[in-house]
Amino acid sequence: MNVARYRAPGRVNLIGEHTDYNDGFVMPVAIDRQTTAAITPRPDRLLIVRSAAHEDVATIDLDRPGGGLSRASVSESGGPLGTWSDYVRGVAAVLERKGFRLQGADISIATDVPMGAGLSSSAALEVAVGYGLLDRAGHPIDRTTLARACQQAEHEFTGTLCGIMDQFIACHGRAGHALLLDTRTLDMAWLPLPPDIAVIVCNTMTKHVLATDGYNARRADCEAGVRALADRLPGIRALRDVTLESLEANRDALPERVFRRCRHVVTENARVQSAAAALRAGDLDGIGALMRASHVSMRDDFEISTPEVDAMVESAMRADGTIGARMTGGGFGGCTVNLVRAGAAAAFAATVRAGYEAATGRVPEIYTCVASDGAGRYDA
Ligand code: GLA
């Protein structure tokens, strides 16, 4: 059988939340949990897609891949159906539209990225399939072009107006490193993770059903803030261009809620840059304080945390060996990211599990993660 296998990782973001669609800074890590796509060419123009996680088989016609959520008769035109296969459908549609002629294929998908937990299972699916479809059709792979196409697919086919972070790190991840990314210029720097630090993800096993609405509402608040501030601060294009001083000086131009949303983004951008400096200097206490401040800002100013996420962070702060703990990802449930002194990882997990269970009555999942490479072809 002429099968080729492709993989793309999930991610955890160390710091820099909801900054990417504000032209700001992020610091994600690709993790050792991944989505795989086994792709066998077909003589026609159909993608027949199976997933180990779902029973239905999706058929996508590459000649009518559909135009996304903005089209009226979405399913008749082959657009989104509101199911898992929309990620595949969306990536195929966007790549074809960008001029990458694809080949029909049987696609078999599997994943160990927890779904809907804020670890970018959707980006991992999009990028694994996109990488594989491009490679099978003989197109050279430009990782940034692929990331942008996958982000576009997510906008059009799932309705989340996400930034570039998740798809970018799924494409550009590097073993042993965090990625400092300027989402305006796409300038990137690889920051080696100290070997004596464990990156531990704690899954609250909760997800708010309205997370997409909440995400898009936060984005709308940020954009409203930029519009209102632009009258006073000519030349700003995004919250990236606003300092805390100028934001505070123009507080009266903004509704109170919008002011707090903007303050989160402005201070979070500064925290990412300080965290990069602290990581480069080996200043672990400094990183911990920045993660703490980031969590408080997400909780109080951006209002994307939940009681479960807060309980997980508080449990982590009580454990020995914790350097820092904060919510990670889009919010409204999901996971926390924790930097822990490596020798303390097992005790950390036990303390957090007990603390979280006592506070919420729920059983968490805890993953010690290894910083991993971005998408690629692999041998089974
Ligand atoms: C989701 C989005 C990203 C980013 C994060 C929050 O993961 O896909 O683009 O905005 O939320 O930082």
Percent of the chain with pLDDT over 70: 95
Catalytically active residues, by annotation: 166
Backbone torsions φ then ψ of 166, nearest 5 degrees: -65, -45
Write down the pLDDT at residue 68: 58
Residue 80, pLDDT above cutoff 80? no
Tell me which residue has tokens 């969590």.
295
pLDDT digits (tens, 9 = 90+) for 319-362: 999 999 999 999 999 999 999 999 999 999 999 999 999 999 99
Question: Dihedral angle at the C-alpha atoms of 73, 75, 78, 82, nearest 10 degrees?
Answer: 130
DSSP state of 214: H
Check residues 237 and 55 and name the one with the higher pLDDT: 237
- Classify residue 216 by burial, with Cβ atoms within 10 Å: 0-12, 13-18, 19+: middle
Write down the pLDDT at residue 173: 98
Please work out whether the CB of residue 211 comes within 6 Å of at least one atom of ligand 1.
no
The ligand 1 atom nearest the CA atom of 120? 7
What whole-number distance in Å separates Cα of residue 133 and Cα of residue 144? 16
Write down the pLDDT at residue 67: 52
The rounded mean pLDDT for the chain is: 95
Q: How far is the CA of 168 from the centre of ligand 1 (A)?
A: 11
Q: How far is the CA of 134 from the centre of ligand 1 (A)?
A: 25
Write down the pLDDT at residue 212: 87
Residue 109 to residues 131, 135, 139, 170: CA-CA distances in angstroms?
Answer: 13, 16, 21, 16
Q: Which tokens is 327 given?
A: 């919510």
**Average pLDDT estimate for 231-256:** 97
Write down the pLDDT at residue 324: 98
Residue 75, pLDDT above cutoff 90? no
Please work out whether the CB of residue 330 comes within 6 Å of at least one atom of ligand 1.
yes
Helices (H) and strands (E) in the chain, counts: 10, 13
**Average pLDDT estimate for 213-241:** 97
Please work out whether the CB of residue 28 comes within 6 Å of at least one atom of ligand 1.
no
Residue 103 to residues 133, 292, 323, 370: CA-CA distances in angstroms?
Answer: 7, 48, 48, 34
Percent of the chain with pLDDT over 90: 91
> What's the pTM value of the predicted model, to 2 decimals?
0.95
Please work out whether the CB of residue 268 comes within 6 Å of at least one atom of ligand 1.
no
The ligand 1 atom nearest the CA atom of 154? 8
pLDDT band at 116 (very low <50, low <70, confident <90, very high): confident
Write down the pLDDT at residue 330: 95
Write down the pLDDT at residue 83: 85
Mutating to test ligand 1, I would choose from 215, 221, 239 the residue with most ligand atoms within 8 A of its C-beta, which is: 215
Please work out whether the CB of residue 165 comes within 6 Å of at least one atom of ligand 1.
yes
Check residues 258 and 116 and name the one with the higher pLDDT: 258
The answer to whether the CB of 177 falls within 8 A of the CB of 370 is no
Residues 6+ apart with CB under 8 A from 33: 9, 10, 111, 112, 113, 114, 119, 367, 369
**Average pLDDT estimate for 44-61:** 94
Q: How far is the CA of 19 from the centre of ligand 1 (A)?
A: 8
Q: How far is the CA of 304 from the centre of ligand 1 (A)?
A: 12
pLDDT band at 246 (very low <50, low <70, confident <90, very high): very high
Please work out whether the CB of residue 17 comes within 6 Å of at least one atom of ligand 1.
yes
Mutating to test ligand 1, I would choose from 162, 216, 335 the residue with most ligand atoms within 8 A of its C-beta, which is: 162
Residue 74, pLDDT above cutoff 70? no
Residue 71, pLDDT above cutoff 50? no
- DSSP lists the bridge partners of residue 106 as 40, 48
Please work out whether the CB of residue 166 comes within 6 Å of at least one atom of ligand 1.
yes
Radius of gyration over alpha carbons of the chain, in Å? 21
Mutating to test ligand 1, I would choose from 11, 17, 20 the residue with most ligand atoms within 8 A of its C-beta, which is: 20
Q: Which tokens is 267 given?
A: 């201070």
What whole-number distance in Å separates Cα of residue 18 and Cα of residue 261? 10
Q: How far is the CA of 325 from the centre of ligand 1 (A)?
A: 18
pLDDT band at 79 (very low <50, low <70, confident <90, very high): low
Q: How far is the CA of 13 from the centre of ligand 1 (A)?
A: 9
What whole-number distance in Å separates Cα of residue 10 and Cα of residue 30? 6
pLDDT digits (tens, 9 = 90+) for 183-218: 999 999 999 999 999 999 999 999 877 678 999 999
Nearest CA to ligand 1 atom 10: 18
**Average pLDDT estimate for 151-165:** 94
Write down the pLDDT at residue 210: 67
